[in-house]
């Protein structure tokens, strides 16, 4: 018979209830995971949780653009003549 665990024992590192699951992992991948855990001194569980959190983390909201996207010095090239109307280039007068 499985011992009954208290709610406190089921709390995960982030303070939420942990869910136990079983995942079949290919043996070569498991070996790499086990070696990485041994080298880093972390548990296999913590490596898997960290990897899942990185892949499925909430997208961060970007910052507002406060300056020019492209900066530079000098004059505009021949593709950007200053004295022509751009509509004349697209819709030439006949």
CA dihedral for 70, 75, 77, 79, sign (positive or negative): positive
- Residue 11 has a pLDDT of 55
pLDDT in tens, 24-61: 999 999 999 999 999 999 999 999 999 998 888 877 77
What's the number of domains the chain is made of? 1
In a domain, residue 69? The reply is no
In a domain, residue 23? The reply is yes
pLDDT band at 4, cuts 50/70/90?
A: low
- Report d(CA 5, CA 63) in Å as an integer: 45
Q: Give per-residue burial for 32-52: e unless 16+ CB within 10 Å, then b.
A: eeeeebeeeeeeeeeeeeeee
- Residue 77 has a pLDDT of 64
Q: Is the full-model pTM beyond 0.75? A: no
pLDDT in tens, 70-94: 777 766 666 666 666 767 767 777 6
For residue 17, what are the domain limits?
A: 7-57
């Amino acid at each position: 018979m499985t011992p009954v665990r208290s709610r406190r024992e089921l709390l995960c590192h982030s303070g939420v209830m942990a869910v136990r699951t079983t995942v079949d992992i290919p043996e070569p991948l498991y070996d790499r995971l086990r070696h990485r855990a041994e080298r880093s001194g972390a548990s296999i569980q913590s490596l898997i949780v960290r990897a899942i959190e990185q892949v499925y983390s909430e997208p961060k909201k970007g910052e507002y653009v406060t300056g020019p996207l492209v900066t530079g010095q000098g004059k505009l090239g021949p593709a950007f003549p200053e004295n022509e109307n751009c509509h004349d280039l697209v819709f030439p007068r006949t």
